Structure 1
Amino acid sequence: MIDLVYLREGKTLKLTYYIQRGDNYEGFLTYSVPENLNEDEVYARQLCEYFVVKGKEYKLLSNEMAGKEEVLVVEEKGDARRFSDEKNYKGQGVHIEFREYRESGDMRLIRAMPLATHWEVIRYLLKDVIDIPEIGQFLRDSTEIDEDRGVYVIYLGKMVL
């Protein structure tokens, strides 16, 4: 849990993304609790290996702490891949999509689910094997937060059950 005493003292917890470009690091985005994010979203974001914002995809290189600041170092991978069945969830609460991972082409949507909180998302982000209700268990390939669409995405590998 975030240090609530720290927050009660009027100090703000920050989550900052930095882009690594060679040996240089550029501040990219900063979010503050509680102004921009809730504490559960701060932790959920740190568990995502990929980040999509403004049409670009970023890969997480390092997850760090500096005092009360949470720091995510990313590298730009290029334009974000888009899929034929994508939906925009912005303003509709917390959502998670499960997609079949493929090196190229469309990544089929297996299931989309609304969740009550980012804490619920964290349960899925932490797992190596994910149980999708009424479908079965799958190996997790990678995780992403797509800020453009307002959704967490878990890319799945082989079905295990």
Structure 2
Amino acid sequence: MKKNYKLEYRLNDEQKNYPALYHYEFSEPTEIFCRRLCDYFIKDKKVYHMTSASLEKEYYVIYVEIDEEEAIIEHAKSYTHVTLEVRDFKEYSVSPLIYTYDLYSHEEALSLIGNDFLWLDEQEYRKISAEIDEDRSTYVLYMTKA
């Protein structure tokens, strides 16, 4: 019998006893590993900041806090397959799209998200942060020219 890999997002709130927010099951662990590399998690138009990750019995757990200072990207494209957007990080405005990787698997996403630097169009970029935007079904790397 094939193993299922379980992931749970929990609110990092000790007073509320770390309530579970979202549960997932995957047949392969790669998507979990991608998610654990993301600084931000977007779901239901809320932005969460990852505070830590753990392995507890059969669950991978990502602890998050709601980030009121960050905003979702309005009117951006949504996807039906695994993608990774690279955006030019702007602190107080919309970060423009530099490039979109159309990927075949979360393993490919992992090979990109795990880097501190990427070369695009003969220009080196340094990673500022990574996120998974479930509302738009994409990973996003925020980068700046190195």
**Is the TM-score greater than 0.5?**
yes
1:53-132 correspondence runs (5 A): 53-78=43-68, 81-83=71-73, 86-89=76-79, 91=80, 93-132=81-120
**Two-structure CA RMSD over aligned residues (Å):** 1.9
Selected match of 2:131 from 109, 125, 144: 144
Could you list the structure 1 runs, at least 4 aligned residues long, displaced by more than 3 angstroms after superposition. 82-85
Alignment partners' CA distance in 1, 2:127 and 2:59 = 29
- Asked if the contact 1:55–1:80 (Cα under 8 Å) also holds between the matched residues in 2, the reply is no
> Gaps spanning 5+ residues in structure 1: where?
1-7
Q: 1:16–1:31: 8 Å Cα contact kept in structure 2? A: yes
Superposed CA offset, 1:105-126 (max 9, x none):
1111111120111111111111
In structure 2, what is the equivalent of residue 14 of structure 1?
6
CA distance change for structure 1 residues 53 and 32 in 2, over 3 Å: closer, same or farther? same
Q: Distance in 2 between matches of 1:83 and 1:14?
A: 28
Q: 1:155 aligns with which of 134, 142, 146?
A: 142
The one-letter code of the counterpart of 1:33 is F
Pair 1:26 & 2:4 matched: no
Q: For 2:98 and 2:3, locate their aligned partners in 1 and report how far apart those are by CA, in whole Å.
A: 42
The alignment partner of 1:78 has SS state of coil
CA contact (8 A) 1:96 1:121 kept: yes
SS in 1 for 2:12: strand
Contact preservation (8 Å) 2:5, 2:59: yes
Distance, in Å, in 1 between the alignment partners of 2:15 and 2:54 is 17
Greater Rg by CA: 1
Q: Unmatched 5+ residue regions in structure 2?
A: none
Contact 1:62 1:72 in 2 (8 A): yes
Is the 1:16–1:70 contact (alpha carbons within 8 Å) kept by the matching residues of 2? yes
TM-score scaled by length of structure 2: 0.90
Cα separation, 1, equivalents of 2:73 and 2:122: 21
Give 1:79 deviation, angstroms.
Answer: 7.8
